[in-house]
Each structure stands twice: as C-alpha cells, then as structure tokens.
Amino acid sequence: MRDPRLFTAGLVVTFLACAGLAQADALPPAPAELGTIRRNEHGQLEVVRTPAASHAAATPTADQVAGPGRALEKKRPNAMANGRTLVVGPQERIRSITEAARLARDGDTIEILPGEYRQQAVVWLQSRLMVRGRGQRPVLVADGDHAEGKALWVVRNADMLIENIEFRGARVPDGNGAGIRFERGHLRIVRCAFFDNEMGILTGNVADSVLEVEDSEFGQAPRHAGDLHHLLYAGTIARLSVRGSRLQQGFRGHLIKSRARESSILYNLLVDGVGGRSSYELEFPNGGLAWVIGNVIGQSATTDNRDLVSYGAEGRHWPVNALYLAHNTLIDDTVDGRFLRVWSDRLPAGSEVWAINNLLVGRGAFMPQAPGRHDGNQSIDRAMLLDADGLVFALPQNSPLRGKARPPGFVGEQSLAPNAEFRLPAGTRPLVAGKPLSVGALQ
C-alpha cells in the first residue's frame, strides 16, 4: 500500500497501485483503486474493495477514472521542502513580482504583500513553486503588459500552487489574453480571482497536464465585438477539476469550456447573472468523462445560446465518454431554452448520460438524448425558490421535495451523492452526514 490520502469531505482513504490505461489515450499508466473506506448515504463508514471484473464497457470503473473525489491527485505543492521564502512588497527588498520571478529557484515560496501591482507579466520557468498573496488579496493589473503575447502570467512547466491573488485586465493582440496561461505540468489555483480578462484561465493541449481550481471567482468578461471570452477554458489535458468556485458575467464565450479527458465540476455557482451574455454555461465539446455534481447552473434571459450544458458538440477525442449529472440546480430564464444538450450523433455509440436528482427551474426542456440512468429529476417554477444565505436557489423548508431524493447510486466505486455544497462568496461547506438528500444542489 502507498500514498494514503484522508479527505475531510467524505473521509476517503485510497490505496493506489499501477494499472494500465487504454493505449489510445497515449498517457502514462494511471493508478488504480484497490480499495476505499467511504461514508455511505446513511452516514456509516464502510470498506469497499474494487472488483476485479470491469464494469459495463460504456461505464468506466474506478480502475479507469479518478472520479469526483480527488483520489488520483498528484502530491500538492503546498509545502516546498528546503526552499526559500521570497517576500514581495512596496517596502521590501524585492519590490516587484517580475524581480521575484527572476530570483526564484525550484522549491521556493513567493509571498506577495497586499496592494496593487501593475505591469507584472511573468513567465514562470521554475518547478515546485508556491506563489501566494499574504493577507488581503493582492491585485495584479495588466495595464497593457503581457508575457509572450499570451497572458499576465504564463506557467511553462511546473508543479505549482497559486493562491490568493487577483488577475485583472489581460489583453493581447490575438484577443486571447488570459489572467493565467497554463502550458504544462500540474497547476493548482486556490482562492484566486479573475476579472475583466479576455480569458480567465487558458490551458495548452499537453495530454498529461492537470489543472485544479478551488474556491475562486471569475467574471466581468470584456465585451469586444467579434471575440469569444471564456472565463475558464481547458484544452485537451488529462484532468480539470473546478470546485467551490463562482463564475458569472460572461460575454459570448462560455463560463467553463473543457476538452479534458476527465472533468470534475463540483459544488460551484455557474450563474451568469443579470445582463450576462455567456453562451453555454458549461461545455464539454469533445465529450470525455465528465462529473457534474452539486452545482447551481443558471442561464440569463440575455444569453446568446439556448443551452445551459452541452456535451459532445465537436465529436469525440477520448476513448471513454460519459456524463454524470447529479444533484444540480439548473435554472433557465429563457422561454425556449434547453437545460442539457447531448450531441449523441457525434459521439461513439453507447456513450452514456446519467441525469439523477437534478432540480430543473424554469421553462426549459430537459431531454438527455442518450442511454443511461435518468431518475429523480424534478421541475419547479422559479418563484418556488427562496434565498438561503444569499443564494436565491434553495427549496423552502416546507417543500414536498425536501429530503425526498432517491439514493443517486454509484459508478463503479464512485458515489454520485454530494458531500458538500457551494457557499458565498466562493468555497464549500460539508453536508451533514446521514441527512436525507433533496433534489438539486443546495441541501
């Protein structure tokens, strides 16, 4: 046994061993789950052994995928062994981020003091690097500056953590100016903000890269005629994880667009807001394995697209294709919208869609249009939702739908039951173990 991980949300301990992936994926072998300790829907701990036999061909097993829990994450670069700490601030020896980037070595930590930092475009070449804001979140303003015509910050190839930093105003000649351009490696973004950038985060297409985004905010897409500004755009990478984050105020582009082999979209607020003009709120153009659990996803009446969630519009790229849409609150303020569109004719035969215990708010159509499980989804009028802790998307306590959701079940050894919910301004809070679940995202 090696690499035990304990997660407070779900209390999962995962034991990893080497196992092969389909050769068509052209990626290094992925670890396989040999067993887990998990808390079931009744709040009880139980030990589960992964069966040797594979699940149905159209349904990936735990040996094939990481699932929405984070069992196969790489070691996070939270603590850099033997590295130095470089402090950046107006009164410090190092006064600019660009100077800190020049001085930093592999394994260092860079701490940025509160304040506004203008024209601090950087290409990060180091590995095992932590860059974090100290105290009140420091704000980086592009003010016409960019790195290599790509972004405020370019992450070349790193195992890197960026925490508590705000990125504003990225503009480049080709119109794809990102707060962060992530090209290769493993990048974790925690408690950051991306506003008024042509792209919030944009990745390359390196097939073994991993991007994780937690407790972060995206919004205020610029309104340039003819340009598409996605708030978060992942290319053909190994994995995208977005958790506890808020995305709003898009313009023509999507709130999240992911071409990743595996995408985990958990406990987020993807609501475009009043006057928002995003296209899809959530899109997986090349299919892949997509876990969409516990999100509030809302389309404004001024949208440029009638679909909230789109899967497979540009055809397959990955060997495993399945969408698991469970315990989401889907809100459509348009007259003829669609909560979900699955482009089954462009995906391999047998590609599955599971739509379970979703709360459908508004007058949109909900037709999964693919084989799979479609259980427990409920439609209500927008007026039936109440404000709970600033989120006007909750069922009232006397709703007949309260606590009546069916057990959502498992995919392989991965539960589709939520164990957290979104909280403002960005983040999550754990659900009470054993409490009966309601349909939708907010319990």
pLDDT value of position 99 = 97
Q: Give a yes or no: residue 52 inside a domain.
A: no
Task: Grade residue 21 by pLDDT with cuts at 50, 70 and 90.
Answer: very low
Mind listing the pLDDT tens digit for each residue in 419-429? 999 999 999 99
Residue 61 has pLDDT above 50, yes or no: no
Q: Give a yes or no: residue 76 inside a domain.
A: no
**Mean pLDDT, rounded, for 242-258:** 90
Q: Give a yes or no: residue 399 inside a domain.
A: yes
Q: Give a yes or no: residue 53 inside a domain.
A: no
Mean pLDDT of all residues in the chain? 83
Task: Grade residue 78 by pLDDT with cuts at 50, 70 and 90.
Answer: very low
Residue 74 has pLDDT above 80, yes or no: no
* Structural domain of 172: 85-430
Residue 72 has pLDDT above 50, yes or no: no
Q: Give a yes or no: residue 50 inside a domain.
A: no
Mind listing the pLDDT tens digit for each residue in 391-411? 889 999 999 999 999 999 999
Please state the length of the chain. Answer: 443
**Mean pLDDT, rounded, for 143-155:** 96
Q: Give a yes or no: residue 73 inside a domain.
A: no
Residue 33 has pLDDT above 50, yes or no: no
**Mean pLDDT, rounded, for 75-104:** 84
Q: Give a yes or no: residue 308 inside a domain.
A: yes
Q: What is the CATH number of the domain that holds 207?
A: 2.160.20
Q: Give a yes or no: residue 376 inside a domain.
A: yes
pLDDT value of position 225 = 65
**Number of folded domains that form the chain:** 1
Task: Grade residue 81 by pLDDT with cuts at 50, 70 and 90.
Answer: low
Task: Grade residue 116 by pLDDT with cuts at 50, 70 and 90.
Answer: very high
